[in-house]
């Protein structure tokens, strides 16, 4: 897909990956709509890349539809917004579970459904994970570090073995520390 002149809606644009994607899409001539909760972070980025900002908190039930309406015609949707969802389930309050599900699961599905239908109606669109995937028509790009990808591959093939290794290597402590570090971002 030719990105020059394409309208790209990028959620979660205030984070590190979002900023990098915004810059990469803009460098390829795309018109980028930046979305997130922190407009004070998004405005300087939008000014730098010639994009525009649409504030949205995707934990709010109507936010995905409202965001798409404000963004205008979308050719590429990058649903990058996410909340940390690590740690033990017992460490989550019910409202944190709902918020994580709304932002990490419901919002991307709703936006993909609605934007995809509108793209198809216009004979446009093409909504994969990164600039490389869009330009090269790659179905999926896994951006996790190699070690995590290998761990997931081995974990899928031998889950009992991996669980035993994780327990012996202090995986419980690591999981608790990771969850504690991300608890305030839920």
Q: Give residue-wise pLDDT tens across range 35-88.
A: 999 999 999 999 999 999 999 999 999 999 999 999 999 999 999 999 987 788
| Model pLDDT for residues 116-138, shown as the tens digit of each residue | 888 878 776 547 445 666 677 76
Under DSSP, the state recorded for 183 is G
Sheet (strand 52-55) strand order: 52-55, 31-36, 7-11, 76-79
Mean pLDDT of the chain: 86
pLDDT of 149 strictly over 90: no
pLDDT at 101: 94
Closest by Cα among 64, 90, 94, 92 to 79: 64
Top CATH class, 7-136:
alpha beta
* Range list for CATH 3.40.50.720 in the chain: 7-136
Please give the pLDDT value at position 130. Answer: 54
Token readout for 127 is: 């909504």
**pTM above the 0.75 mark?**
no
Q: Is the pLDDT of residue 178 over 50?
A: yes
Residue 142 has pLDDT above 70, yes or no: no
Percentage of the chain modeled with pLDDT above 70 = 88
Residue pair 41/48 in contact (Cβ under 8 Å)? The answer is no
């Amino acid at each position: 897909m030719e990105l020059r002149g394409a309208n790209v809606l990028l959620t979660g644009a205030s984070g590190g990956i979002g900023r990098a994607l915004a810059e990469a899409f803009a460098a390829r001539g795309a018109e980028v709509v930046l979305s997130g909760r922190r407009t004070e972070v998004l405005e300087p980025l939008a000014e730098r890349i010639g994009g525009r900002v649409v504030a949205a908190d995707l934990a709010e039930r109507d936010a995905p539809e409202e965001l798409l309406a404000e963004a205008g015609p979308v050719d590429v949707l990058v649903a990058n917004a996410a909340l940390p969802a690590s740690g033990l389930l017992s460490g989550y309050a019910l409202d944190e579970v709902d918020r994580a599900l709304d932002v990490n699961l419901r919002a991307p599905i709703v936006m993909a459904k609605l934007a995809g239908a509108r793209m198809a109606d216009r004979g446009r669109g093409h909504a994969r994970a990164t600039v490389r995937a869009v330009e090269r028509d790659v179905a999926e790009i896994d951006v996790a570090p190699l070690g995590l990808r290998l761990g997931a591959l081995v974990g899928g093939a031998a889950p009992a073995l991996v669980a035993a290794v994780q327990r012996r290597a202090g995986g419980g402590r690591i999981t608790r520390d990771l969850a504690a570090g991300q608890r305030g971002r839920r």
